Amino acid sequence: MKIETPYREAMSYINKARLALRLAGKEDKFYIDEKYVKSACGIAYSGMLKALDFLFDIKGVPKRRGRKSIFYYQVILSEMDKKLLKHLNNGYEVLHLYGYYDGGSKIQTVESGVEDALSIITALKPYSGNGRK
């Protein structure tokens, strides 16, 4: 099934992640509620991968059957776009490992991961009517 509005679809993940981070609350330089931080990081990471799936589809990358690993995304981006690869690697480290698995809660670190996801999602804009779709 082809999505008509890939940018908007991917951005909905970021919006949901930011909502979860607001629910987490802040104290000094850290989020308070680990449950919401883990949820937000997982949502933002999923949005980042969803955006890459859309981008790969747009670019004509052959689809892979079964579960895709981070290695799959890294290999394709290493051939396609080194800048997006850097965002993927940092987003993986921060959102997936630090935020989701380890429960890290430093605001600045988590926000950097969300920004990496946003950078990847923004790569969809030229293919989505400047973000209207």
pLDDT over 70, % of the chain: 93
Report whether pLDDT(1) > 70: no
Report the residue count for the chain.
133
pLDDT band at 64 (very low <50, low <70, confident <90, very high): confident
The proportion of the chain whose per-residue pLDDT surpasses 90, expressed as a percent, equals 80
Specify whether the CB–CB gap between 114 and 37 falls below 8 A.
Answer: no
- The residues spanned by each domain of the chain are 6-127
Give the tens place of pLDDT for each residue, 3-40: 668 899 999 999 999 999 999 999 999 999 999 999 99
**Predicted confidence band at 56 (pLDDT cuts at 50, 70, 90)?**
very high
List pLDDT tens digits, range 81-112.
999 999 999 999 999 999 999 999 999 999 99
| CATH architecture entry for 6-127 | Up-down Bundle (1.20)
CA distances from 88 to 60, 64, 104 (A): 19, 19, 18
Please tell me the pTM assigned to this model.
0.91
pLDDT value of position 52: 96
* Residue whose token pair is 């030229």: 126
